[in-house]
């Protein structure tokens, strides 16, 4: 598969994540918690970064997208650990507004919003690392 | 090849946008159908006898407003509610119910309900709204200021203080909160016109929904 298609795939994931999260908050009226907001900050710019890097294909984008993806992934991991009670809730930094551990949505019994975010960031992060290898060679 | 790729990207964007708005429409229609079904089978859940009301009893159209005295949009919309009452005089009954979504909403509602017992509900509501930016400031709420503002009204404050935490008022707040949840009230103000929820918030959409309901009733 050529690099363009790989980058296109990552862009596609970021578009899906962005549209989906906006749909959850603006249409389904599920209020985003604090950690969700931090993940959004890392995810939304990727749509533009990846999109622009597709025309013409510019793999330098890895350099700029990787830190965002890494930060977003880190927050997503932390959020999921909280969410699935693998670390105690009192460590949660969310005292105001909506709690980060409130389960607002559960599809098929296990698909939750933080899990979707983690999946998206994992795909993007691993994709970028993979692309970086082939780019450097 | 390049053209195809640009096409692909534009296609994905178009699909994402279309999917978003299609999904929005779909969910909105489903919600309207769900709520309309509930209100059709039991109008009690929407129009509680105990709720404050303005307009003509037995009017062909009943508008239910779920509001919160500490909500800025409710404050901003209140004059428009009055305008609609004026415009559809004799044809509309407005029922007011609570959706306490802010830290001091309960406190303000307790005062309002206690003032209702002294027949000073609407003056008290106007006063609460007028000074809301002071007592309900989100960064520095000072609910105690409310006492200063309502002291200018013809209210027996001692009596009000004694009555504001009565179980009766507690029950109203509890019931409104619960029924608001059942009816899908997530924002304030939320409106229902003859049991149909207002999808797009705004003066004109609400007005149109009232006119629609009146036409349906043959008015």
Contacts of B16 in chain A (CB under 8 A): 15-16, 19
The whole-chain average pLDDT of chain A stands at 87
Give the per-residue pLDDT at A97. Answer: 55
Distance CA B57, CA B42 (A): 18
Contacts of B186 in chain A (CB under 8 A): 29
A28 touches chain B (CB under 8 A): yes
Distance CA A23, CA A44 (A): 14
Distance CA B206, CA B190 (A): 10
Q: Where are the beta strands (DSSP E) in chain B?
A: 52-55, 61-67, 92-98, 190-193, 196-197
B11 touches chain A (CB under 8 A): no
- A78-133: pLDDT as tens digits: 999 988 877 776 555 544 456 676 667 778 777 889 999 999 999 999 999 999 98
Give the per-residue pLDDT at A91. Answer: 53
Q: Which residues of chain B have pLDDT under 50?
A: none
| Most confident of the ranges A2-6, A15-19, A79-83, B162-166 | A15-19
A45: its two tokens: 């710019």
Candidates A15, A22, A23; nearest CB to B12: A15
A11 touches chain B (CB under 8 A): yes
Side-chain-facing half-sphere of A123: CA atoms under 13 Å: 19
Distance CA A79, CA A65 (A): 21
Give the per-residue pLDDT at A137. Answer: 52
Buried b (16+ CB within 10 A) or exposed e, A10-49: bbbbbbbbbbbbebbbebeebebbbbbebbbebbbbbbeb
Give the per-residue pLDDT at A90. Answer: 57
Query: What is the ipTM score, two decimals?
Result: 0.75
Q: Do A55 and B8 touch (CB under 8 A)?
A: no
A20 touches chain B (CB under 8 A): no
> What is the β-pairing status of strands B52-55 and B92-98?
antiparallel
Closest CA to A124 of A63, A77, A73, A90: A73
Residues 6+ away with beta carbon under 8 Å from B144: B135
- A42-72: pLDDT as tens digits: 999 999 999 999 999 999 999 999 999 999 9
- Cis preceding-peptide flag for B87 (omega within 30 of 0): no
Give the per-residue pLDDT at A83. Answer: 83
pTM recorded for the entire structure: 0.75
Asked whether B93 and B172 are in contact (CB, 8 A), the reply is no
Q: How close is the nearest chain A Cα to the Cα of B39, in Å?
A: 21
Give the per-residue pLDDT at A89. Answer: 62
């Amino acid at each position: 598969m050529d690099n363009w298609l790989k980058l296109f795939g990552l862009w596609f994931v970021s578009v899906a994540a962005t549209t989906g999260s906006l749909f959850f908050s603006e249409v389904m009226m599920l209020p985003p918690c604090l950690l969700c907001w931090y993940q959004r900050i890392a995810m939304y710019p990727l749509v533009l970064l990846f999109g622009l890097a597709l025309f013409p294909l510019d793999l330098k984008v890895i350099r700029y997208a990787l830190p965002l993806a890494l930060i977003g992934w880190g927050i997503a991991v932390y959020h999921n650990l909280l969410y699935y009670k693998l670390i105690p809730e009192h460590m949660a930094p969310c005292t105001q507004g909506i709690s980060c551990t409130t389960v607002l949505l559960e599809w098929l019994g296990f698909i939750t919003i933080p899990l979707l975010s983690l999946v998206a960031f994992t795909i993007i992060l691993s994709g970028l690392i993979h692309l970086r290898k082939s780019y450097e060679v | 090849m390049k053209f195809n790729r640009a096409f692909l990207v534009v296609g994905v964007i178009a699909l994402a946008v279309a999917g978003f708005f299609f999904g929005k429409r779909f969910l909105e229609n489903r919600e309207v159908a769900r709520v309309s079904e509930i209100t059709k089978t039991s109008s009690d859940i929407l129009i509680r006898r105990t709720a404050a009301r303005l307009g003509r009893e037995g009017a062909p159209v009943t508008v239910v407003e779920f509001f919160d005295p500490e909500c800025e949009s409710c404050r901003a919309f209140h004059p428009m509610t009055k305008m609609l009452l004026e415009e559809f005089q004799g044809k509309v009954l407005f029922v007011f119910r609570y959706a306490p979504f802010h830290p001091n909403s309960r406190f303000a509602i307790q005062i309002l309900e206690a003032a209702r017992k002294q027949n000073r509900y609407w003056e008290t509501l106007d006063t609460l709204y007028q000074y809301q930016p002071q007592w309900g400031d989100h960064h520095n709420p000072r609910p105690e200021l409310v006492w200063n503002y309502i002291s200018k009204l013809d209210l027996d404050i001692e009596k009000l203080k004694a009555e504001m935490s009565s179980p009766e008022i507690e029950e109203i707040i509890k019931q409104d909160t619960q029924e608001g949840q059942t009816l899908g009230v997530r924002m304030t103000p939320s409106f229902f016109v003859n049991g149909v929820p207002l999808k797009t918030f705004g003066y004109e959409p609400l007005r149109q929904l009232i006119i629609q309901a009146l036409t349906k009733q043959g008015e």
